[in-house]
Structure 1
């Protein structure tokens, strides 16, 4: 879930390419995205540490445990969600499985609400957080974007994808919305703690008297989609890969449409505690190995996210 900044992208990603690939994934999988219960398989398999090329880069306690616990909001198709059998699937789990093979450990996804993932990371509930989370300075430094005040220890990010943010409406009922500026006097549904909420708050401050922008924030993106589908709001917003997937799959493609261009392109990052530099560097090495092998490109193509590919993983590349 992309976090806020003020710049807009100069070129939107190719929707036809992304949505076309998403259609293939959508045809193969029944999303079951709203299921927040623990699935039969919430982990990503890996080779044993004795056979893994990068196992020695991991901290000893992780190698001994053979597992990395991953905090994730598992209701954000196609990035991470549960299929009809309750298994955790998506772009992030596939990348995690590929990285696990390099490191010789299993990356186990544990479900949580998005706005509580970094708290869970700081408390030790998770070893890392991987959930379409945007790498930005506020999160790196532990700063509340609304108040500008430091509210906790920041995190480091291992960047793995670039994505922007989109607005979508009910199909054939756009209410004249083509950009964020058109939302004044209307209602929008967003997921709490994401850039969509931040951008909506920023836009609300600009609206003239008598044209209030009403923001309804939910725990997960599926609730936002349900609210829009029922007509309770005029629009919803989420990261472009998620919005495109919803447009393609919800109601067989009859429920929603994307309006306007995506904005705020920024890197997704795997969040790691500041103190866990060895784990952070091991993850970066594993991701770069997956990129170099060509498996990274195949995973992104599978989930319609190839336009957001990076050539090399960066640490804290977000602004």
Structure 2
């Protein structure tokens, strides 16, 4: 398996208005602070927010597995490319939905904290994790040795300390074309001299580059590769006739073929290749959080919630029987 992903912040500016009515503003600020303090310290039954949150956390069976800092804040911040249906995407109401959000919600019952998904482009997730913008990255990310070790797949050079993975699903990579117009494409070798659209930083992009080199070595025309920030942009390009084929993880390609244009836009070609585990990425050294996530995933596998979620999204063929740490190769 190559090192990319099978996939998959700008700081908000604040503005403080000026006013010549300093005393009035100061008085209002003090009053507001006192009001917020009173509201924040008390719940309806007189307990503090911190006490209430602590009680909620400890009622979950695996709450004590989490680092205390996570338990105190009551949430896990998740970096994710939320444009990769059906794994994670926005529904018509703007809500984050999909396989990963459903699994996260099931795990939250075990851990007693919420999982807060924050959108980012896929190729920035690992660096965001290293920079501590997120606690974990959960975004259909393939677990590979290169990612574990912080190795750039193209140069072979170390670019960071790497991440640990909690593996929870298996998926391969598929090719799809416009419906009724497969251009004779059945396998990756059929792409020589043709144009493919992919998401940047993914296994699909890595495979296309590797196959293009094989084309050149065999004295055939190279593959033209057009990479996009997200998979939806790649789909749009193919749909408009701007390429011969597209490639995504199998669950995403299958969902796209089934739903785009009511099933009239695309078709799958050939078999999925490079089957490998999706992993939830956790920063190196954060072993307590990593192990808590693994325990929660194992718990929902054991209690049947995991299977129900995969069945709901039609991806049960990628199910695993237990979570593994750094099982990618």
TM range (shorter): 0.7 to 0.9
In 2: Cα distance, 1:111 partner to 1:296 partner: 24
1:124-163 matches, within 5 Å, as 124-163=132-171
Q: Which residue of 1 aligns with 2:57?
A: 49
In 2: Cα distance, 1:97 partner to 1:251 partner: 30
TM-score under structure 1 normalisation? 0.85
Q: Which residue of 2 aligns with 1:44?
A: none
SS in structure 2 at match of 1:64? helix
Q: Which residue of 1 aligns with 2:117?
A: 109
In 2: Cα distance, 1:50 partner to 1:58 partner: 10
SS in structure 2 at match of 1:145? coil
Give the number of the structure whose alpha-carbon radius of gyration is greater. Answer: 2
Question: How many residues are paired up?
Answer: 276
Per-residue displacement from partner, 1:235-285 (whole Å, max 9, x unpaired)?
000000000000000000000000000000000000000110000000000
Is 2:271 the partner of 1:271?
A: no
Q: Which residue of 2 aligns with 1:11?
A: none
Q: Which segments of 5 or more consecutive residues in structure 1 lack a partner in the other structure?
A: 6-46
- For 2:189, which of 181, 184, 189 is the aligned residue? 181
In 1: Cα distance, 2:202 partner to 2:222 partner: 21
Any conservation in 1 of the 2:192–2:220 contact (CA below 8 Å)? no
Per-residue displacement from partner, 1:72-92 (whole Å, max 9, x unpaired)?
000000000000000000000
Q: Which residue of 2 aligns with 1:197?
A: 205
In 1: Cα distance, 2:305 partner to 2:140 partner: 19
SS in structure 1 at match of 2:58? coil
Per-residue displacement from partner, 1:184-226 (whole Å, max 9, x unpaired)?
0100000000000000000111114462210000000000100
SS in structure 2 at match of 1:49? helix
Higher relative contact order (CA 8 A, sep 6+): 1
Q: Which residue of 1 aligns with 2:321?
A: 311
Q: Which residue of 1 aligns with 2:26?
A: none
Is 2:170 the partner of 1:172?
A: no
Q: Which residue of 2 aligns with 1:236?
A: 246
In 1: Cα distance, 2:243 partner to 2:188 partner: 15
Per-residue displacement from partner, 1:2-32 (whole Å, max 9, x unpaired)?
x627xxxxxxxxxxxxxxxxxxxxxxxxxxx
TM-score under structure 2 normalisation? 0.83
Q: Which residue of 1 aligns with 2:2?
A: 4
In 2: Cα distance, 1:295 partner to 1:122 partner: 31
Is 2:236 the partner of 1:226?
A: yes
Is 2:297 the partner of 1:299?
A: no
Q: Which residue of 2 aligns with 1:287?
A: 297
Q: Which residue of 2 aligns with 1:256?
A: 266
Q: Give the root-mean-square deviation of aligned CA atoms.
A: 1.1
